[in-house]
Chain A
């Protein structure tokens, strides 16, 4: 019988304690952050989609189009497109496509980049009804006003042209030689082609 009443009183007491706590919370100020009116400040390390870093000296990116990020990406959502422009050292980035719909923000691309060309952005306000809106061209996002033409180095251009001429000359000579020796024709052609590509890579 005493257990019966004890259970009852303990029960009522516990219920009263609960009411006291919720009453206290009712009287304190809400902690909600009213999102569209105010927004959270993102921490610097927040991982948004990746972006190209702008180099202040050259006012453009530092990407050399080596493709390490593309290779390291587990979801295969990066594709780096580049081309060779005469008079410019290395390859020139023409498009850095990030398919953000499949990106898992693991950070392998940022780690793999030896040139410090990409980082995570702080962008989190991304909303769209169309899937295509999440296929970013990071190069265009870096230069919304239009991608600047790569700076052509006149000396390098001259050197390159000379090299090209030399290579062409060599090729022509070899061709002539090859024409003479019909049996060695195939081998000679291959060599000249190899030489050409090697010259390009060296520059």
Chain B
């Protein structure tokens, strides 16, 4: 019975937290983009445009779901749902605070990586099933991008696992206790290349979540809207929300692995608030970067991955192994 209440309360908690975040990250992005571009962003609906996400949601929900003639009906409908479900499931393993974990897995990191791969699959599904050439090109692009960036991301994650000796996310955070100089991204006693490793992971999570400048899947000036070209109404809405959910997962994971999760930078009062502060800061960096840079091409993307990120992460893996052996 206790277990049931626990599951229920976490379910409701995560659903509420996610719902709020997915709606308002859109607002943050629009507002941020606005101010970066010398304009205001949403302003009219509610104070500071705060009711804008509500209005957008209502509009999307009230729209008719149209399935194109050429589309594969079942896959077309299933793709956004799969994308959303896969992203939401990931939240089960995130340790928000020391005791605030929906489910503490021993293999939390592995679980996140394996389930997150489904996002790439759902994009390909959506692109293929739409029966549109633009969508198809976008789908294939997104998959090649995911594959290319999962390699350095996993190698970097393995480095962290080697340092911590555990795949339990909460355990990884616990080992970073006591001030920001103990956090993994400054752990020079483990490997001198940890800051670079952090940057590699950050870049990879940006590419994995299909965010600009790596938004090849929805390159609007080339492929109209990429894999969401044929989606309208809530199908589009689900893809958008899944994108923000993935963004949150990417930032949470970076926070956990490199920035000490719920640890306080000065070693006092650790708790979920520190986790949220770090996560939102990273999300803001994503928004900031998105509205600053132009888009890369497929070749540029693959070059970056194979020429820079993978060698760097491999070197860091070797150096870390050396440090562990020597010290």
Any A–B CB pair closer than 8 Å? yes
* A34 & B43 in contact (Cβ 8 Å cutoff): yes
B144 at interface, CB cutoff 8 A: no
Number of interface residues of A (CB under 8 A): 15
Determine if A85 is an interface residue (Cβ-Cβ < 8 Å). Answer: no
Q: Are B289 and A25 in contact (CB under 8 A)?
A: no
CB < 8 Å: which of B40, B288, B291, B307 contacts A32? B40
Is B36 close to A, CB under 8 A?
yes
Contact A26 B32 (CB under 8 A): yes
Residue B325 lies at the interface, judged by CB distance under 8 Å to chain A? no
* CB-CB nearest in chain A for B285: A19
Cβ contact within 8 Å between A22 and B39: no
Known: A30-B38, A34-B43. A23 touches B288 (CB 8 A): yes
Does B308 contact A30, Cβ atoms closer than 8 Å?
Answer: no
From B35, B43, B293, B307, A26 is in contact (CB under 8 Å) with B35
Chain B residues with Cβ below 8 Å from A26 are 32, 35-36, 288
B262 to chain A, nearest CB (A): 27
**A25 engages B37 (CB within 8 Å):** yes
- Decide yes or no whether A8 CB sits under 8 A from chain B: yes
Could you say which of B34, B43, B293 contacts A18, with CB atoms under 8 Å apart?
B293
A127 CB within 8 Å of chain B: no
Q: Does chain A have a CB within 8 A of B292?
A: yes
Size category of the binding interface on chain B? 10 to 19
Is A25 in contact with B288, judged by CB distance below 8 angstroms? no
B36 A22 Cβ-Cβ under 8 A: yes
Contact pick for B39, options A4, A21, A23, A31, CB 8 Å:
A31
Q: For A21, list chain B residues within 8 Å (CB).
A: 292
Residues of A within 8 A of B40 (CB): 30, 32, 34
A128 sits at the interface (CB 8 A): no
B37 proximity list for chain A (CB < 8 A) = 25
Cβ–Cβ < 8 Å partners of B293 in chain A:
15, 18
Bound form: Cα–Cα A8–B38 in Å:
31
Complex Cα spacing A115 to B13, Å: 78
State whether B288 touches A22 (Cβ < 8 A). yes
Q: In the complex, what residues of B have CB within 8 A of residue A8's CB? A: 308
**CB closest chain-A residue, reference B32:** A26
Contacts of A32 in B (CB 8 A): 38-40
Within 8 A of A (CB), among B12-58: 32, 34-40, 43
**Least Cβ distance of A14 to chain B in Å?**
10
Residues of chain A with a CB closer than 8 A to B38's CB: 25, 28, 30-32
Interface pair A19/B288, CB less than 8 Å apart: yes
Beta-carbon contacts under 8 Å, A42-68 to B: none
Decide if B292 touches A22 in the complex (CB within 8 Å): yes
Q: How would you classify the secondary structure of chain A's contact residues: helix, strand, loop or mixed?
A: helix
Q: Bound complex: CA of A28 vs CA of B32, how far in Å?
A: 12
**A8-B308, A30-B34 given as contacts; is B292 within 8 A of A18 (CB)?**
yes
Find chain A residues with CB under 8 A from B288 CB: 19, 22-23, 26
Residues in B neighbouring A30, C-beta threshold 8 A: 34-35, 38-40
The answer to whether B292 and A19 touch across the interface, beta carbons within 8 angstroms, is yes
Closest to A4 in B: B307
Taking each of A18, A23, A30, which has the highest tally of chain B beta carbons within 10 Å of its own beta carbon? A30
> Which residue of A is nearest B304, CB measured?
A11
A23 to B35, CA, bound (A): 9
A35 CA / B288 CA spacing, docked (Å): 27
In the complex, chain A residues whose CB is within 8 Å of the CB of B289: 19
- CB-nearest residue of chain B relative to A15? B293
Residues of A within 8 A of B43 (CB): 34
Residues in B whose Cβ lies below 8 Å from that of A18:
292-293
Shortest B126–chain A CB gap in Å is 31
Give every chain A residue within 8 A of B291 (Cβ-Cβ).
22
Contact B39 A25 (CB under 8 A): no
* A23 and B38 alpha carbons, distance in the complex (Å): 11
CA distance A18 to B293 in the complex (A): 8
**Can you list 23 residue pairs at the A/B interface with Cβ under 8 Å?**
A4-B307, A8-B308, A19-B288, A19-B289, A21-B292, A22-B36, A22-B288, A22-B291, A22-B292, A23-B288, A25-B35, A25-B36, A25-B37, A26-B32, A26-B36, A28-B38, A30-B34, A30-B40, A31-B38, A31-B39, A32-B38, A32-B40, A34-B43
A-B CB proximity, top 6 nearest:
A22-B292, A32-B39, A18-B292, A26-B36, A30-B40, A22-B36
Given contacts A15-B293, A18-B293, A30-B38, 20 further A-B contacts (CB under 8 A): A4-B307, A8-B308, A21-B292, A22-B36, A22-B288, A22-B291, A25-B35, A25-B37, A25-B38, A26-B36, A28-B38, A30-B34, A30-B35, A30-B39, A30-B40, A31-B38, A31-B39, A32-B40, A34-B40, A34-B43
